[in-house]
Amino acid sequence: MSKKILLATRPLVPPWDEASKNFAYFLGKEIRDNSLTLLSTEVLLTGLPPSVHQEAIFRSGHFDLKAKWNLLRYLRATRPKFDITHYLFTPTKWNTRIIRALARPTAGKTVQTVATLRDDLYSPEELKELFFADRLITYTALAKQKLERLGFQSVTHISPGIDLDRYSPQTKNPDLLKQFGFTEEQCIVIYPGEYVRLGATDMLTEAFIDFFRHNPATALRFVFACRVKNAADAAKKEVVHKRFADASLLAYVAFSDTIADMPALYNTADVIVFPVGNLHGKFDVPLVIIEAYACGKPVILSDLEQFREFANDRICVTIPKDSGAKLIESVAYLKENKEFREALGREARTFAEQHFDLKNTARQYEALYASL
């Protein structure tokens, strides 16, 4: 029987360059057996099936204090309306208390997707207070095990899915090449991470400055493809830019902010690097990794525990975290060994098809909704 389901999210508006809203929107495109409500602005979302209703409760795509108030007001007004309310934003002490006190549904069931388990930020007792839904969904088996050790019983592991038609191997994008000031023949390495969080920016900066200084004739080029989310990011970007400028190496590096066409970004790379020191504030499965896999790109990862479920030597290169020397060694090897680079990319694409197909993820969610 069809159920009325609300996806409680930040504003779902393009560009599709942010993991949580991307997942909610693309999941909405695949759900067929239920009546789904998505929360957005007056901008009409394209490609949605007739079973999906768009509710324009936000004025813009910014999830600021006003937007959070609009979301809370809508959740409170619709408490008896939905058969299932599915929360897809990261729980905090503040939003959990507010929802419990003012906006918890008076009818139907609740689901929380736990995209990241912030056990670096909260104690076990605090984590127990964050999760209140009838069913918890984790992105990884590791997170499921951690929640079960905390005493939660209704926990299901469903891997996030991506649109494998959208994220697929293509040629390098000429517009992005022009934007970066690079050529198709050059070996382009891209870091689709963050400036302040994740603990990789300083290592990347020093490693590539050292490499370019000692290899001035190299055809290697590097792109910081990091969105500037706040003043701290903007300040860090300026510091990094100045480091390359002071070293007279700006010709080897490019900086991009928001890229509307993320598949084009991945496909313009010869190598994707994500050698982060931590995942604090990031999804347990960073979708940039899976999207790069789906585009058939070789990826260099750090040896974080969270990566073990979707990293092995057939689909990626793993290096010790904080090791600039190993990063450069791995990049240089991939640059000089095209056959190995392409083999990794093919295996990575197959892995994404087997484990992160959005259509399969949607089927698992449909089954979950039916069980509630």
| Mean pLDDT of the 207-221 span | 98
Instruction: Tell me the average pLDDT across 296-300.
Output: 98
Confidence of residue 206 (pLDDT cuts 50, 70, 90): very high
The pLDDT of residue 16: 77
Average pLDDT across the chain, whole number = 94
More confident residue, 2 or 221: 221
Upstream peptide bond of 286 is cis (omega within 30 degrees of 0): no
Question: What's the whole-model pTM score?
Answer: 0.91
The encoded tokens of residue 140 equal: 């990884």
Residue 32 is predicted with a pLDDT of 87
All residues at 6 or more sequence positions from 114 whose CB lies less than 8 Å from its CB, including other chains = 91, 131, 136, 137, 138, 139, 143, 147
What is the pLDDT confidence band of residue 207, given thresholds at 50, 70 and 90? very high
pLDDT in tens, 29-70: 888 889 999 999 998 898 899 999 999 999 998 899 999 999
Residues 284-308 have a mean pLDDT of 96
Q: Beta-carbon neighbour count of residue 57 at 10 Å? A: 16
Q: If residue 148 lies in a helix (H) or strand (E), which one and from where to where?
A: helix 141-149
Q: In the chain, what are the domains?
A: 4-161+357-371 (3.40.50.2000), 174-356 (3.40.50.2000)
- pLDDT of residue 213 exceeding 90: yes
Mean pLDDT in residue range 274-286: 91
192 in helix, strand or coil? coil
Burial of 95 (0-12, 13-18, 19+ CB in 10 A): middle
Assign 283 a pLDDT band (cuts: 50, 70, 90): confident
